[in-house]
């Protein structure tokens, strides 16, 4: 199965610890999106990455959150010094190419999500 | 700027009856519109999209959606609901002429189909 793979599926952290969420895109996809889902708020965009490049991080909180997508290996969403408000489901999605005006017009392919609980 | 609204948090329908899940959008140019479905504790799955052409778009699992430019709507429909259609449904939009490559999602509508 060459779908979007996210791990861990569930992660429990205490306040102040670090959380690392990993995402491997679909085979052949080179662009990754991270979204956060909170109850009552729907799906909120966080960051859009290409390998070794952050294209758009306008949805990322300014502090404690970072993301990377190295040349080799999965994309990582890192949350430092977690607080209870970080508890959410974090979804990764991928696309085969940059979705600019001339590029892909299609849908995103989502992983199953990583559910972070901060105690 | 682009935005999408799903005015109903929840839609209830009896099995076998037609269903409609509403979505309206706002973009500066022509939109690309999408519907996704999310089952409990799962990721989002693509259902259908409107890019151009015929205003009635058919998708997976018997769902269809109608693009209405004058009403800026893209409502999801199915002629006969199944209990297994119960899930969370998300509408999404991209403002292509506005240069956006980040889809904006609505808050989601919970569809409950009663036996």
Interval A75-93: pLDDT, tens: 999 999 999 999 999 999 9
Q: Would you state the pLDDT for residue B48?
A: 93
Q: Which residue of B has its CA nearest to A113?
A: B43
CA dist., res. A91 & res. A89, Å (int): 6
Average pLDDT, chain A: 90
CA dist., res. B13 & res. A106, Å (int): 30
Q: Would you state the pLDDT for residue A99?
A: 58
Q: Would you state the pLDDT for residue B1?
A: 80
Q: Sorting pLDDT into bands at 50, 70 and 90, what band is A39? A: confident
Give the largest CA-CA distance in chain A. Answer: 45
- Take residue A80 and report the two structure tokens written for it: 């430092």
Residues 72-91 of A with CB under 8 A from B: 91
Q: End-to-end alpha-carbon separation of chain B, Å?
A: 41
pLDDT at A103 over 60: no
- Take residue B65 and report the two structure tokens written for it: 């959606």
CA dist., res. B58 & res. B66, Å (int): 9
- Take residue B4 and report the two structure tokens written for it: 């999408």
Q: Sorting pLDDT into bands at 50, 70 and 90, what band is A98? A: low
**B105 - beta bridge partners?**
B92
From chain A, pick out residues whose CB is under 8 angstroms from the CB of B96.
101, 105
From chain A, pick out residues whose CB is under 8 angstroms from the CB of B43.
4, 6, 91, 110-113
Residue A24: CA count within 13 A, CB half-sphere: 9
B105–A35 CB contact, under 8 Å: yes
> How many beta-carbon pairs below 8 A join chains A and B?
61
Helix or strand holding residue A116 (H, E)? strand A114-118
Contact call for residues B108 and A42 (beta carbons, < 8 A): yes
- Where chain B has pLDDT below 50, the residues are none
pLDDT tens per residue, range B34-55: 999 999 888 999 999 998 888 9
Q: Which residue of A has its CA nearest to B44?
A: A110
- Take residue B51 and report the two structure tokens written for it: 């890019």
B49–A110 CB contact, under 8 Å: no
From chain B, pick out residues whose CB is under 8 angstroms from the CB of A33.
102
CA dist., res. A13 & res. A86, Å (int): 10
Q: Which of A24-28, A39-43, A83-87 has the highest mean pLDDT?
A: A83-87
Q: Would you state the pLDDT for residue A105?
A: 61
pLDDT at A66 over 80: yes
pLDDT at A29 over 70: yes
pLDDT at A31 over 70: yes
Q: Sorting pLDDT into bands at 50, 70 and 90, what band is A40? A: confident
Smallest Cα distance from A88 to chain B, Å: 12
A43–B90 CB contact, under 8 Å: yes
Q: Would you state the pLDDT for residue A45?
A: 94
From chain B, pick out residues whose CB is under 8 angstroms from the CB of A56.
101-102
Q: How far is CA B16 from the centre of its chain?
A: 20
Residue B54 or residue A22, greater confidence: A22
Residue B69 or residue A2, greater confidence: B69
């Amino acid at each position: 199965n060459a779908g979007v793979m996210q791990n861990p599926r569930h992660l429990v952290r205490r306040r102040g610890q670090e959380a690392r969420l990993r995402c491997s895109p679909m085979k052949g996809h080179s662009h990754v999106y991270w979204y956060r889902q909170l109850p009552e708020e729907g799906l909120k965009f966080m960051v859009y990455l290409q390998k070794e490049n952050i294209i758009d991080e306008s949805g990322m909180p300014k502090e404690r959150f970072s993301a990377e997508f190295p040349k080799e290996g999965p994309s990582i969403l890192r949350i430092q010094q977690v607080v209870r408000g970080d508890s959410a489901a974090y979804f990764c999605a991928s696309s085969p190419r940059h979705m600019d005006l001339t590029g892909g017009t299609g849908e995103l392919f989502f992983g199953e999500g990583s559910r972070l609980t901060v105690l | 700027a682009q935005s999408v609204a799903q005015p109903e948090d929840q839609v209830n329908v009896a099995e076998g009856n037609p269903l409609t899940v509403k979505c309206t959008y706002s973009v500066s140019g022509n939109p690309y519109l999408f519907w996704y479905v999310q089952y409990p504790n799962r990721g989002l799955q693509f259902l259908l999209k409107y890019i151009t052409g015929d205003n009635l778009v058919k998708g997976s699992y018997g769902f269809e959606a109608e693009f209405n430019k004058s009403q800026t709507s893209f409502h999801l429909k199915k002629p006969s609901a199944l209990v297994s259609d119960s899930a969370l449904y998300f509408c999404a939009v991209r403002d292509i002429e506005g240069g956006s490559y980040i889809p904006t999602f609505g808050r989601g509508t919970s569809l409950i189909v009663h036996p």
